[in-house]
Amino acid sequence: AREEFRAVAARGSILYFLIVEMSNVNVMYQNSLRQFLTIFDNSITKSTKSSVTEERIENILSYLTYEVWKFTLRSLYERHKPLFTLMLAMKIDCHKGTITHDEFMAFIKGGASLDLNAVVPKPFRWILDITWLNLVEINKLQVFSAVLTKIKQNEREWRNWYEKEKPEEEEIPCGYQKSLDVFRKLLLIRSWSPDRTLSQARKYIIESLGPEYGEACILDLEVTWQESEPRTPLICILSIGSDPSPQITALSKLKEIPLRAVSMGQGQEIHARRLISEAMAEGGWVLLQNIHLSLPFCSEAMDALVDTETIHETFRLWMTTEVHPQFPIGLLQSAIKFTNEPPQGIRASMKRTYQNITQDTLDYSTQSQWPPLLYAVAFLHTVVQERRKFGPLGWNIPYEFNQADFAASVQFIQNHLDDMDPKKGISWPTVCYMLGEVQYGGRVT
């Protein structure tokens, strides 16, 4: 009977070593075996029970994979989330045997190790050198053994396909559209149009793991807090415009738990030490902002969490830090980590914005204009942040638009509605000027 559950152990091994390897991407992505084993144990105790062994194993695997994915994604920057999810899908498929090791390596490396002078010469000048090397590399695989010949014989078809804006959405020439499954199509897209790889990768992820893995995972600070315990610190890894302090403050007010905050730096350790000591005894939260400016104090805080005999059950230690190569690994491994970046994509960003809007805010005004105006401000906020993805094409300078801009804009709309003459209605020039020129435009130089 134990042998039947070997698949669960194998999946656990794949997941654990993948999250450990993420520390090669960013030094702050440190996870401990203890944290992983907690999720692993939960997958056995909390997943749906079944008297049919195969069904029971499938339930455990589904629960374990999704919970590890969700737990890890919370601590990653937006740009690394698709990488982790794609690697997760590929590692699982490699273990199942649906992807060979050669195919995996061809996807990872492409033709980077080949020399253009040592391979078959490219037949047409319009094909980029790196593209041809990628194609030569996948030509070694059985499924693409005739790809070079087909390209030479059908130049017009391949060139038309290659020059499409979204080749992954078009029909692949020479019958490959029907003969290739979604991963092999990904391999071909990655070779021809590396810039379209992520779009095709999303299709592969959804087909391999399920539609829920194609959706953005929105940070829920309340759920994150509920997962913690008094001896587990909560660390936010910062990026531009992602300070979680207002959300932590709002959550503490909602839960009626006192919050004491200190911005770390020279000489602030004394205050931090006192606040932690008082909160451990009396209860409450302590927020240490920019803890990377006082790295020696990190070890002291960690010792206090471990060595203090009795800690009040409501005590929590929150920290914010920028990426730092000398940040104590032990603290990162024992902590619940999260990032607070705006999620990528209009839909995900709108969901995140509305998740932070309380019912009281939604019910603020009986005026019919209030809900659409709130939506309009949320949409503006999302678009302004989303433009940052396009680098200098979006904003010449990566302006730090954040939740404070949105909150100030909503406050202005509320005040404007309160003071509005019902006969005259909304003053659109006023609204446009205040939002475009003052609230958001005020940051633009």
Q: Which tens digit of pLDDT belongs to each residue from 415-426?
A: 999 888 888 888
pLDDT at site 415? 92
Homologous superfamily (CATH) for 221-339: P-loop containing nucleotide triphosphate hydrolases (3.40.50.300)
Cα–Cα separations (whole angstroms), residue 431 to 64, 181, 250, 401: 49, 51, 27, 19
Mean pLDDT computed over every residue of the chain: 91
How many angstroms separate the CA atoms of 67 and 223, rounded?
A: 13
pLDDT of 343 higher than 80: no
pLDDT at site 145? 92
Taking the CA atoms of residue 256, residue 316, residue 265 and residue 28 in that order, the dihedral angle to the nearest 10 degrees is -130
Where exactly are the structural domains of the chain?
A: 5-76, 103-213, 221-339, 346-443
Whether 25 contacts 83, CB under 8 Å = yes
Residue 43: both structure tokens together: 């997958």
Does the domain formed by 346-443 have CATH 1.10.8.720?
yes
- DSSP line for 208-242: HT-GGGGS-----HHHHHHH--TT--EEEE--TT-
How many angstroms separate the CA atoms of 28 and 367, rounded?
A: 47
pLDDT of 182 higher than 70: yes
How many angstroms separate the CA atoms of 266 and 274, rounded?
A: 16
Helices (H) and strands (E) in the chain, counts: 21, 5
Which value, in Å, is the radius of gyration of the alpha carbons in the chain? 26
pTM of the model: 0.83
How many angstroms separate the CA atoms of 254 and 154, rounded?
A: 65
